[in-house]
Structure 1
Amino acid sequence: MAQIIFLHGASSSGKSTIAGILQAVVEKPFWHVSIDHLRDSGVVPMNRFRRGDFRWSEARNAFFEGFHASLSAYADAGNNLILEHILDDEEWLPMLISRFAKHDVFFVGVHCPLEILMEREAARGDRPLGSAKQDYETIHVGKIYDLELDSTEEPQTNTTKLLAAWRSDRRSSSFSLDKRAVP
């Protein structure tokens, strides 16, 4: 069984900052995995999508199916994961609950005020303007977390809170509630 610390929050909410600090201090080896890593490393031909050579709308489903399958493969092989993700498709949560059923998932909601999200999004310049607002309004609806963090707090403070809650082994999120329902 792998351990998965799943950071879920809007674009520009601070997930990467928390994940980086967490990976540096957690007592076990954890892979830090996010879509940004694929995009920024050149795995995905983002320049060609931006230029219009390819249509993201045609590639998106296959991309995310592959991404989600890779997460399962990493965990099934015994790798612990710090996963940053934005569940912006209602089908992804139940699918990931199923794929991660045999693993210990600690589901963390990362929250940030809308004004700050919009400022960060504009400063980054690598997201379509408005995606943070859309995420802010939709992605946390219907999700039950083991822990919720406010990213206006210091990242080190949030990491300390996260580690204390994760180490407690208490799980009561969308991932663990589903496991209790299965006989």
Structure 2
Amino acid sequence: MPKIDKPGEIIILNGTPRSGKSSIALVIQNTFEGVWMNLGVDQFMQMTPKQFQPGIGLRPGGERPDLESTIKIMYRAMYETIAQFSRLGLNVVVDVGHHDGYSVPLRILPECARILDGLPVFFVGVRCPIEIVMERRIKTWNAGYNHDGEVPKPIALWQELVHIPGVYDMEIDTSVYSPEECAKLIRQRLENGQPPEAFQLIKNMETE
């Protein structure tokens, strides 16, 4: 087995559905130097049996308490996999939407941060105004506003909860930058020599 000189880099893109995470992940995978494995929410949902869908993609609102204990295990499995890839020298990009809007607090994010303790993790907040998110939802799924013109509650909850606690190594706004520009900003952050610290802070954080 070849000697592993250093662990692979890990980039976690955290944001709401339709915020542009997957497009950024694809650019990173196709243009960054080295091998970049993509281990995001879509890949894990594809692996999840129908009766446990949407798995880790479950939206906030506490609608499926019957799935929550399994979802917590799935997140742990995903992050254990990320850690193992990194320890074997493979880079990993992850697009995900962390929230704690379950029927009871699960505190999944601090646990995931502890799993990656000691590894080079860059936690990136992918922000996008809700108006742009709605435009993208309508274009992609033909699913938009309520009949009264209001944003559907689950989408509003995503926007409210996905960036709690809001501790990141960097944040990008996909309404301002293209996926290629976002990837370039992330590359510059990786190359500037400043060590990531967000997950070090989050792993000891207890949310209320």
TM-score under structure 1 length normalisation = 0.79
Counterpart amino acid of residue 97 in structure 1: A
1:170 aligned residue: 194
Superposition deviation, residue 15 in structure 1: 0.4
Unpaired runs of at least 5, structure 1: none
Relative distance call for 1:133 and 1:26 in structure 2 (3 A) is: same
1:103 aligned residue: 119
**Count of residue pairs brought into register by the alignment:** 172
1:114 aligned residue: 130
Relative distance call for 1:91 and 1:178 in structure 2 (3 A) is: closer
- The 5 A counterparts of 1:28-47 are 28-40=34-46, 43-46=47-50
2:23 aligned residue: 17
Superposition deviation, residue 118 in structure 1: 2.3
1:57 aligns with 2:73: no
Relative distance call for 1:44 and 1:145 in structure 2 (3 A) is: same
1:142 aligned residue: 165
Moved more, 108-117 or 86-95: 86-95
- Please provide the CA RMSD for this pair: 2.8
Superposition deviation, residue 46 in structure 1: 3.5
Kindly indicate whether the alpha-carbon contact (under 8 Å) linking 1:121 and 1:132 is maintained by their aligned counterparts in 2: no
2:147 aligned residue: none
Higher relative contact order (CA 8 A, sep 6+): 1
SS where residue 95 of structure 2 aligns?
A: strand
Kindly indicate whether the alpha-carbon contact (under 8 Å) linking 1:10 and 1:139 is maintained by their aligned counterparts in 2: yes
Q: Deviations over 1:58-77 (max 9, x none)?
A: 34334333323322333333
Give the distance between the partners of 1:99 and 1:25, measured in 2 at CA: 27
SS where residue 45 of structure 2 aligns?
A: helix
SS where residue 107 of structure 1 aligns?
A: strand
Counterpart amino acid of residue 8 in structure 1: N
Give the distance between the partners of 1:145 and 1:165, measured in 2 at CA: 12
1:71 aligns with 2:87: no
Unpaired runs of at least 5, structure 2: 1-6, 55-63, 101-105, 144-151, 204-208
Kindly indicate whether the alpha-carbon contact (under 8 Å) linking 2:122 and 2:198 is maintained by their aligned counterparts in 1: no
